[in-house]
Amino acid sequence: MQPTVPSADGTITKPSPYSVEETIRRLDEVVRGNGLTVFARIDHGSGAREVGLDMQDEQVLIFGNPRAGTPLMVARPLVGLDLPLRVLVWSASDGRVWASYQDSAFIARRYGLPDGLEKNISAVAAVVEAALRPSR
């Protein structure tokens, strides 16, 4: 997959060759396989349908590692607004599926994290890359 430049708001969005459900499943598998904790999986599309609203498929996987995230929140408590890490997987109206997440360098700049702490949250990019990699 080619490198992606974050948007002005720090969001990186990559195309997924899989459905929303399969992309989330693969993300979950990669996250757990790397010893990270899945804290929640939120199905926005299902929630919308339950109340009679129409919405494309959209799910969020929230994950992390307290050993990695806690030092960031100790240094800058407001970074807790962006932690645990999360990936939004969504289907566009044309049927294409996308995975979006916040760039770790953007988060570090946003909260003025001390040097060296960004590495604690930089795994999100590798997790997404691994989950989106085509199966052999």
Residue 116: pLDDT over 70 = yes
Q: ∠ CA(43), CA(46), CA(52), 5° rounding? A: 145
In a domain, 1, yes or no: no
Cα separation, 105 vs 34, whole angstroms: 21
Distance of alpha carbon 93 from the chain centroid: 21
Could you tell me if residue 95 is inside a domain? yes
- Cα separation, 90 vs 76, in Å, equals 30
* Confidence bin at 2 (pLDDT 50/70/90): very low
For the record, the structure tokens of 56 come out as 């494309």
> Residue 2: inside a domain, yes or no?
no
- Taking the C-alpha atoms of residue 63 and residue 15, their distance in angstroms, rounded to an integer, is 20
Q: What is the pLDDT of residue 23?
A: 98
Q: Report pTM.
A: 0.92
Q: What CATH number should be reported for the domain holding residue 51?
A: 3.30.310.70
Q: Which residue has the tokens 């459900």?
A: 21
Give a yes or no: residue 30 inside a domain.
Answer: yes
Residue 106 counted as domain residue? yes
Identify whether 4 is part of a domain.
no
- Whether residue 82 lies inside any domain: the answer is yes
The 10s digit of each residue's pLDDT in 55-107 is: 999 999 999 999 999 999 999 999 999 999 999 999 999 999 999 999 999 99
**Burial zone of 20 (CB within 10 Å; 0-12 exposed, 13-18 middle, 19+ buried):** buried
Domain hosting 25: range is: 12-132
What pLDDT, in 10s, does the model give residues 28-44? 999 999 999 999 999 99
Whether residue 7 lies inside any domain: the answer is no
Compute φ and ψ for 91, nearest 5 degrees: -105, 125
Query: Residue with structure tokens 């609203």?
Result: 53
Structural domains counted in the chain = 1
Q: Would the pLDDT of 136 be above 70?
A: no
